[in-house]
Each structure stands twice: as structure tokens, then as C-alpha cells.
Amino acid sequence: MKYSLILFCLLWGSLSAQTVQLLPDFTFTQLNGKILSATDLPKENAKYTIIVYSDAVCDNCQAYFSFFLQEASRYANSRVLWVCPENDPEKMRKFLKEYLGASSFPNFYALTDSNKNFVSWFGTDEKPLILVYDDLGRLVKVYQQSDWKQR
């Protein structure tokens, strides 16, 4: 019995370790032209890092950004990284003004993925997509298109 318990714990630990996804060491360009990597993120004691991956122009932007704003309020003290695969700062600014509006995120970063590295770092090119990581860099929640289309 003792060995069965030990074996179970070892197997469970190895399975759970395989399913934990960590925040990758990414590098994106900010709208101001500066480079931002995961290791460069300010140590502002953010409890969560929320990564929003979307185009600056999309068919259901209003629906998903409304959903995002509602869900983001559940993650107090977080930093938000909006990653856009387009490299069109003016289009991105227009999108932010239209959909983010008066909402305030003190730790908000608008980033471009002009080199198309998001897929290799995060393992998907699904857009729009919202990934929530905890302060240890562990993936804790994924919001996909079906989550806000149901509302």
C-alpha cells in the first residue's frame, strides 16, 4: 500500500507538471518602438499577466473587447499585454481608442508581433485569444472565441 501511494504521487506529479504551461520568454515591439520582453516586464507586483492576442480590425471586436473588459476586472492588480500581429501603430491606436475607451489599465502594453513569433512562443495563432498567467508565470485561464460568442 505504501508503495502504491508513492507511485501514485510520482505519476500525478509528473502528469500535472506536464500540463502546466509557463509564460514564455517573448519579445515584442511596443507602439513607441521600444522592445519589451517577458524578462523586461516591470516588477510592479502584478498578480496576473493577461495577454490579449487579436487583430486591430476584426468582425467581432466589440463583443470580445466587452467580454475582455468584464473578465479583466476579475483579475485585480494585473498587467495587460495586447499583442497584435499587425505592424500598423495608427490602426492599433484607433482600435484602442474605439474599444478600450475610458477603461483604465495602469499596466497596459500595446505590442506588435510583426515577426509572427506569437505562434512559436504561445503555441497557437487563434485570434482573438485571452491568456491569463499568475504571478509565477503559470497559465491559469484561457478564453477562446467560443467563450464570448455564447454571451
For 6-41, what is each residue's pLDDT tens digit?
A: 333 333 333 333 345 899 999 999 988 899 998 888
Percentage of the chain surpassing pLDDT 90?
19
Identify the band that residue 141 occupies on the pLDDT scale cut at 50, 70 and 90: very high
Domain ranges of the chain: 22-149
Q: Are 65 and 96 in contact (CB under 8 A)?
A: no
> 75 has which bridge partners?
none
DSSP code string of 78-102: EEEEEEES---HHHHHHHIIIIITT
Q: pLDDT digit string (tens) for 79-105?
A: 889 999 888 888 888 888 887 765 667
pLDDT of residue 12: 37
Res 140: pLDDT: 94
- Which residue is associated with the grid cell 496576473? 48
Q: Region 124-140: what's the mean pLDDT?
A: 89
Name 57's Cβ contacts closer than 8 Å, sequence gap at least 6: 91, 95
pTM: 0.79
The pLDDT of residue 18: 38
Residue 129, C-alpha cell as written in the block:
485569444
Q: What is the 3-state secondary structure (H, E, C) of 23-84?
A: CCCCEEEECCCCEEEHHHCCCCCCCEEEEEECCCCCCCHHHHHHHHHHHHCCCCCEEEEEEE
> What is the reported pLDDT for 96?
84
CATH number of this structure's domain 22-149: 3.40.30.10
The amino acid present at 6, given as its one-letter code, is: I
